[in-house]
Amino acid sequence: MRADREKAARSIRIARGQLDGVLRMIEEDRYCVDISNQLMAAEAILRRVNQDILRAHIRGCVREGLHSDEPNPKLEEALRLLEKLASLNA
């Protein structure tokens, strides 16, 4: 992985902590809007980490693959990931 591993791991740990908090909120029958806000915060962190990882992949692996005349599996892989992201946001 070419992305900043420590930064990604730290963000994932933060999101995990938020999700643990959401579970406690659900078990405590807390206010739905508060739970939803915490879920959106965790989603935002995960989305940002995913973007960082994909950005590093495109700048590294995909860029290297573009310097070849051979069929480019890294480019096709990146395109499939972008299609998945687009379908998640639809």
Domain residue limits, the chain: 5-88
Rounded CA separation 66/68 (Å): 5
3-state secondary structure the chain: CCCCHHHHHHHHHHHHHHHHHHHHHHHCCCCHHHHHHHHHHHHHHHHHHHHHHHHHHHHHHHHHHCCCCCCCHHHHHHHHHHHHHHHHCC
- For residue 90, pLDDT beyond 70: no
- For residue 68, pLDDT beyond 90: no
Could you give the angle at which helices 5-27 and 32-57 cross, rounded to 10 degrees? 160
Structure confidence by residue, pLDDT tens digits, 29-41: 999 999 999 999 9
Topology of the domain comprising 5-88:
Methane Monooxygenase Hydroxylase; Chain G, domain 1 (1.20.58)
What average pLDDT does range 65-76 have in this prediction? 73
What is the percentage of the chain residues whose pLDDT exceeds 70?
A: 93
